[in-house]
Structure 1
Amino acid sequence: MDTVINTITDFVKSLDAELRVFDMGRRLYRLSNKQFQTFENFETPYPTPLQRHAWLGILIWWKETKEEPLIWFLKLPLDEQGIIIPASRDDFIQRLMKAIQNRVHNPETRDQSILSESELAFTPNQERMAAFHAKISHFLNKNASSFYEPAISYLKKEQEVDSWDTIGLQGLADVCARLEDMNHEEVIKSSLKWLPETPKMLVLTLLENEIPSTDLSLTILDLARQELAQSTPNPTLLAAYLRAMSGSKAATPRQELIIEMLANDQVNNNLELISAIASRCWKDLENESLCFQLFECIAQMDSGEYIFIQFYSDLVAIPGVRPWLMAVIRSTERSEALSKCIGVLFNGIK
């Protein structure tokens, strides 16, 4: 009897291959195979949708062979409840089934051309792509890229500080993906205090895909507070600090920092900073007070009604955040500006 293939998980099993799935949307983090399977089977909503899609990095590999792994980047459309919309995915599955048939007649073929023909395919930005390749290389026990050694040498201050333009992005990604290896956290912690702005921003951007220790997170927190205390704080740098510690388990210090940022009139109307909170720190919004404070700040911004609708529509699809957003909508303590935004939202729905 032919194998019935209804899902990507089924397809991988038909290849006698292994599967690892990463979210590529809000942050780069691993989804368990069980999470992904229940999502594919319409049993659970996608945990971290972005713009009504599940943005996925999919690694398929074979333990017993030296074949190159398959890597797919797919964005699967979701409904209002975060459940997968089957039509596009099923079309993709049909293409996969044809690929299997092709493999029967051409056993050496590992055809990835179906991606170029699919509307589900996307290309991550450079930083996310570098982080992804660093993660899977580390996971598959492969050596880091040739850019790793120069990068770690630079971060250890073994080179001239202004020689950063010779350091490859992939090398920095390799260092960040190996935080627990060879004292890398201590190296990064020290380097953040002297790095020029451009390489510092790159390191912070790459750290958002990792789980920094509490110690490293507190270092980043101190740097963020120093910046926030400036007469004219840099909201771009503040947003980068916040994204860098967004994956940390040090939730309380991070939430305290967010509250301080939202209370600071010099930066709390900055769209980049607000976006960093909404897109990277969604777990922190599972908190009525913080969620309310964020949307009060959004309501006070220029074009606040439009920005409110964009962020509300995106965040309400996240199962853990939805109840707290509903509490914001129902609050009797909201400002006139927030009430106006909510009115515009519901008039649009009608």
Structure 2
Amino acid sequence: MRSIESLADLFELAQCKATYFDLGRHIQKLTPQETIQFDRQQAAYPYPYRQQATFAIVLHPKTDKLSSDNMSIWFIRLPIDEKGSINLGTRDHLIKSIVDKILKDDNSADLSEALTDNPYAFKPDIERMASFHAILAKQMNKEPSSYFSELITYLTGDISREDDSWNTIGIQGIADLATRANEDKYKPIIKKTLRNAPLTLASALAKALEHEELDDDYLMFIVAEFRESINIEFKASLIRAVSRSNGHQRLSQILQLSLVSGEKSANDDQLQLIVALVAKCPHWLANDSELLHLTMENLAQRDDGFYAFSKISIELTHTHLVKDALWSLFRNNKIGSRLAQAITHLFNKSNKTLQ
């Protein structure tokens, strides 16, 4: 048997083709080059999230065209090291733990049960699973789920924030609509939903949109909705909706005003906005020093013993995009006294952990 030194070697031995999707901050297809580089330790994992590489692998026999009848899907989560690369030891342990399960005596492969009881396997939450299936189905040119037509029928009727009759509509239909966000046919329906639908439904759609690259027209619309809304959960979901957009400047000024805590301690409403920003939009923080500064100042003002500040600082220091900008802020002599105190607390805590 040939040496298996990567996931690619494993799939070559099993005679199957693999397509990778990152499932961290957003659901997005990984390019073959990105896959080869992180799999063979030639580069860091391109989209780390919460100090992990979280991805799906769609597998099917090399000799067949991909279809729902012949594919297997693996959901895998592996820790990354301080350089952002997948931890080699855990990667090798993953490979070793499934070799015996998928390779039979006759060298045929059984992929469906390969990750049973595997410590690196996980099941995405229902919203992420729905979005993943919608994205995969669209890439395979499959029709949307039956829930999609039910949703469209509902949304093209008279809807209002107060209506609760939408509760029978499946989450899969919402995910199917989000994948069609950039089709002219559905843009008016999506805008109508965000503006007029019950907030729970509007928020669910906004969250599903986080996996799409929305155009400037959407961005302007969502900025206006953010400005007008008084519901903090909906505002946080709107941040997520445009999180793959590079036009963050249009939201930045509004966010900055929202994060100014004044003399009082920062509140939980502001924290919800920060969590959405940090979780889904680290590139905004990396490219906007003032927004990053206000975010960290706000966290430092919270009356929680610097708990939220520490948690989010650790996440950002493990996020390649924003790490350098954060360290630059921490070294700035012109920061406020409360932020300086929070930074001192963070480093003292880190030193104690190391000891």
Q: State whether TM-score is above 0.5.
A: yes
Q: 4+ residue runs of structure 1 moved beyond 6 angstroms? A: 264-268
2:206 is matched with: 204
List per-residue Cα deviations over 1:199-229 (Å, max 9, x = no partner).
11111111112112211121111000012xx
- Paired amino acid for 2:247: A
The answer to whether the 8 Å contact 2:101/2:113 transfers is no
Give the corresponding residue for 1:224.
226
What SS does the corresponding residue of 1:286 show, helix, strand or coil?
helix
Residue in structure 2 matched with residue 179 of structure 1 by the alignment: 181
Amino acid of the structure 2 residue aligned with 1:349: S
Quick check: 41-50 or 159-168, which moved more?
Answer: 159-168
Does 2:130 correspond to 1:130? yes
Q: Does 1:240 align with 2:242?
A: no
SS of the counterpart of 2:144? coil
Is it true that 1:190 corresponds to 2:192 in the alignment? Answer: yes
Q: Which residue of 2 aligns with 1:316?
A: 317
Select the structure with the greater relative contact order (CA < 8 A; seq sep ≥ 6).
Answer: 1
8 Å CA contact retained: 2:159, 2:197 = no
Q: State the distance in 2 between where 1:220 and 1:168 align.
A: 24
**How far did residue 298 of structure 1 move?**
0.6
Q: Which residue of 2 aligns with 1:230?
A: none
Partner of 2:81: 79
Q: How far did residue 18 of structure 1 move?
A: 3.1
Q: Which residue of 2 aligns with 1:343?
A: 344
Could you tell me how far apart the structure 2 residues matched to 1:269 and 1:150 are?
A: 34
Cα deviation code 1:152-203 (max 9, x no counterpart): 2222227895421121100111111122346122220122221011111111
When the two structures are superposed, what TM-score results if normalisation uses the length of structure 1? 0.90
**Change in CA separation of 1:253 and 1:16 when aligned onto 2, cut-off 3 Å:** farther
Number of corresponding residues: 342
Distance change in 2, residues 1:257/1:124 (3 Å): farther
Q: Distance in 2 between matches of 1:24 and 1:238?
A: 23
Q: Where do residues 48-87 of structure 1 align in structure 2 (5 Å cutoff)? A: 48-62=47-61, 64-65=64-65, 66=67, 67-87=69-89
The amino acid of 1:56's aligned partner reads: F
Gaps of 5+ in 2: none
Q: Distance in 2 between matches of 1:207 and 1:306?
A: 30
Counterpart Cα distance in 2 of 1:69 and 1:80: 34
Counterpart-to-counterpart distance in 2, 1:174 and 1:140: 13
Asked if the contact 1:5–1:97 (Cα under 8 Å) also holds between the matched residues in 2, the reply is no
**Identical columns (%):** 29
Q: Which runs of 5+ in 1 are unaligned?
A: 228-232
In structure 1, distance between residues paired with 2:257 and 2:240: 15
What is the CA RMSD across the aligned residues, in angstroms? 2.3
Matches of 1:61 and 1:175 in 2, distance apart?
27
Contact 2:103–2:110 (8 Å) recurs in 1 = no
Indicate which of 252, 257, 261 corresponds to 1:260: 257
Output the TM-score relative to the length of structure 2.
Answer: 0.88
Shift of residue 304, structure 1, vs aligned partner = 5.1
Q: Which moved more, 1:317-326 or 1:153-162?
A: 153-162
1:13–1:215: structure 2 CA closer, same or farther, 3 Å change rule?
Answer: farther
